[in-house]
Amino acid sequence: MAKYTDSAKELLEHIGGSENISVVTHCATRMRFVLNDTKKADADKIEEIDLVKGTFTNAGQFQVIIGNEVSTFYNEFTKIAGVGDTSKDEAKVAAKQNMNFIQRMISHLADIFTPLIPALVVGGLILGFRNVIGEIGMMGPNNEQTLVDVSQFWAGVHAFLWLIGEAIFHFLPVGITWAISRKMGTTQILGIVLGITLVSPQLLNAYGVAGADAIPVWDFGFATVDMIGYQAQVIPAILAGFVLAYLEIWLRKVIPNVISMIFVPFFALIPAVLIAHVVLGPIGWTIGSWISNVVYSGLTSGLGWLFAAVFGFAYAPLVITGLHHMTNAIDLQLMSEFGGTNLWPMIALSNIAQGSAVVAMIILNRKDEKEKQVSVPAAISCYLGVTEPAMFGINLKYLFPFIAAMIGSSIAAIISVGSGVMANSIGVGGIPGILSIQVPDMVMFAISMLVAIVVPILLTFALAKTKMGVNAYERLGK
């Protein structure tokens, strides 16, 4: 008998049997099920299985936390259940059947930005490191000189790293149009080419438009089109990417297969590029500017503290619903309009707060060896910017640490926004996130981080002694 046979049989029974499984796959630590009838899954009994460390439902999928051995367990489970191997993309498609319209829209947005996140995080770390060596005075008699000022080596590193930073953030539209073509199942190289036409060196750089004496144009005799680039612009790239994708999908339906290889790319790409520069680019720029101005004005107004309090408190619940993916687009738009974002620091603080609540639970339940297998890795990943294991594996299970983290995040967000903290870019959404903060704001962000660590820990200890905490322990049989 294989190592996980008994656990696999138990899971299959309590999840409603093979006939209730539409799709099953796994990620690094979790089994992901799309069920025909979610009511047939008995979460309580599933969580009693020794190997299982928790369950939750997200994005139309019933997810079972297994741990690092998930891949081996998955193989054993699929043999016993008689269900085939399924890709994550197929699982996502099936999961959309369990989503409403808004959830599907958010899922589409997530599908666009999720493939870009590794590059955005790397870019944030690079800009943060350039911050440290190029902006922080640490040399000279009065520490007024930076490493770049006194060392040719570090000056070279500073200049070299901008090559990567510029590629990630200034040429972001290329990544967006590629991600859309990938998501829509259309020709990815056409998506890349479209993105390049939005940021080509032939165009007037988006950052130079405001100070330009004259804007170059393409002159067609009867009309002219402004030669403006859309470096770092999010919404123009999204709109253009979808136009290209839908054009290609439509053309493949109407053009015969024998000539589609020639005419589909031609009649899809040229109109898409023209529409992007004549219509969608200007409209998208206007929409993006409006959104970023509203958010920035709200955060810097006299009521900025209230916006910060609400956002800091509500961000973790947004993660549960998947709505947090919208903030990626807003952050990137703020960066292009204002040279930084005051929204992202609050996201990093929320992640830290959730991790801190888990740290408190580790201390409170230090004798529970099974829970430590979930809580210790969850706290570490939270402090490095990945909150789902902490929230679904520990905080939401007890509820009171989740609330403590939300309150701590809210207070930290008020301090961050009230002191005008700005980040140069999106970065690692946890403690290393301080590297992405603009140098003059690092001290205040460090204070905000301290609040996001201390307050959730103390509140979790306090709430554990209240009726809420006692009820949580009784409900979980502890």
With CA atoms as reference, report the closest residue to 445 among 431, 457, 456: 431
d(CA 176, CA 167): 13
Q: What is the DSSP string of 298-342?
A: HHHSTTHHHHHHHHHHHHHHHHHHTGGGHHHHHHHHHHHHHSSBS
List Cβ neighbours of 319 (8 Å cut-off, separation of 6 or more).
387, 388, 391
Helix H or strand E segment including 58: strand 54-58
Dihedral over Cα of 305, 309, 310, 312: its sign: positive
- Of 10, 22, 27, 105, the active-site residue reads 27
Q: For tokens 């990938």, what's the residue?
A: 182
With CA atoms as reference, report the closest residue to 230 among 294, 162, 289, 186: 289
CB atoms within 10 A of CB 60: 22
Tokens of 357: 């609540």
d(CA 276, CA 173): 12
Torsion of CA 234, 240, 243, 248, to 10 degrees: -110
For the question of residue 382 being annotated catalytic, the response is no
**How far are the Cα atoms of 32, 323, 341, 344 from residue 328, in angstroms, in the given order?**
24, 10, 11, 9
Q: For tokens 């911050």, what's the residue?
A: 131
Q: For tokens 């929230």, what's the residue?
A: 391
Helix H or strand E segment including 57: strand 54-58
List Cβ neighbours of 338 (8 Å cut-off, separation of 6 or more).
292, 296, 422
Active-site positions read 27
